[in-house]
């Protein structure tokens, strides 16, 4: 299969340094508002990379449920592969790619668990079926699908309250670096990196 013949052209408008917000979170919010308005699919999906004890990186998709001063919030199983990676190394990276806008945002930072109360609040907002899956699934561990279905059905029988398990909850990735990438014609893409400098952010244009 030859993929070399796939030629992409990026026709989007310029991302000017003067138009960037001095706060990368505000800049992210501005982009996210545009993405949400355009109703693209999976607007809040991001690729999350962790590293294991040996420094081997690993990536997977997660859904970012909120973002703010504490960071970018996603929910998962704390005993999953990513959860275990974070106990050894809480440095992580998030990547958003919105093909409809030829835009990419890279965010590096440190991951930490959110409060138990916040995890429980979010868990309680989910459907009964989603709660049951979160409770029974030993995410990233070997399973028998039949056993899993049986446990799921048993749990859903009756109207027993489904409580947020201690192995499930939110992580916040608190950013230390951002990069906003806007695809442009002839590979003259616009790239701006935000790095922390004391109490402000330093913005640098990077070569495409
Ligand atoms: C669109 C999409 C959204 C996903 N959202 C989440 C999520 O929010 N939380 C989660 O734990 N897994 C989510 N997953 C599944 C993960 O990509 C991954 O398979 C799972 O978390 C196990 O990863 P791990 O073994 O590296 O821990 C999502 C997958 C896709 C394709």
Domain ranges of the chain: 17-125+166-205
User: Active-site residue 187, yes or no?
Assistant: yes
First to last CA, the chain: 28
Question: Where do runs of H (alpha helix) occur along 38-144?
Answer: 81-88, 116-124, 128-136
The answer to whether residue 4 scores a pLDDT higher than 90 is no
Q: Which class for 50: exposed (0-12), middle (13-18), buried (19 or more C-beta within 10 A)?
A: buried
pLDDT in tens, 17-64: 999 999 999 999 999 999 999 999 999 999 999 999 999 999 999 999
| CATH number of this structure's domain 17-125+166-205 | 2.30.110.10
Is the predicted pLDDT of residue 197 greater than 90, yes or no?
A: no
The one-character DSSP state at 13 is P
Pocket test for ligand 1, best of 42, 49, 60, 64 (most atoms within 8 A of CB): 60
**108 ligand 1 Cβ < 6 A:** no
- Residue 42 Cβ contacting ligand 1 at under 6 Å: yes
Give the nearest ligand 1 atom to 77 CA: 11
Q: pLDDT for 65-117, tens place per residue?
A: 999 999 999 999 999 999 999 999 999 999 999 999 999 999 999 999 999 99
Check if 63 has its Cβ closer than 6 Å to any atom of ligand 1.
Answer: yes
pTM metric for this prediction: 0.96
> Best mutation site among 48, 58, 63 for ligand 1, i.e. most ligand atoms within 8 A of its Cβ?
63
Given the residues 84, 106, 126, 187, select the one marked as catalytic.
187
Q: Which helix (H) or strand (E) is 27 found in, with range?
A: helix 24-37
pLDDT computed for residue 9 by the predictor: 85
Nearest alpha-carbon partner for 61 in 43, 49, 69? 49
Give yes or no for residue 27 CB within 6 A of ligand 1. no
52 in helix, strand or coil?
A: coil
Give nearest CA residue, ligand 1 atom 3. 62
């Amino acid at each position: 299969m030859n993929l070399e013949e796939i030629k992409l052209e990026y026709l989007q408008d310029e991302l000017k340094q003067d138009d960037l917000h001095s706060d990368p979170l505000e800049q992210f919010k501005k982009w996210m508002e545009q993405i949400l308005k355009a109703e693209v699919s999976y607007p809040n999906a991001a690729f999350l990379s962790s590293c294991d004890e040996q420094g081997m990186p690993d990536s997977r998709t997660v859904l970012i449920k909120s973002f703010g001063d504490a960071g970018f919030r996603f929910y998962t199983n704390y005993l999953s592969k990513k959860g275990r990676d974070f106990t050894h190394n809480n440095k992580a990276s998030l990547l958003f790619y919105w093909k409809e806008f030829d835009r990419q945002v890279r965010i590096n930072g440190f991951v930490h668990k959110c409060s138990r109360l916040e995890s429980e609040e979010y868990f309680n907002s989910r459907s009964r079926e989603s709660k049951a899956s979160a409770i029974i699934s030993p995410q990233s561990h070997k399973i028998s699908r039949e056993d899993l279905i049986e446990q799921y059905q048993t749990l859903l029988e009756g109207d027993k309250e489904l409580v947020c398990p201690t192995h499930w909850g939110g992580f916040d990735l608190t950013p230390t670096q951002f990069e906003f990438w806007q695809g442009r014609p002839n590979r003259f893409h616009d790239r701006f990196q935000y790095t922390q400098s004391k109490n402000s952010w330093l913005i640098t244009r990077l070569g495409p």
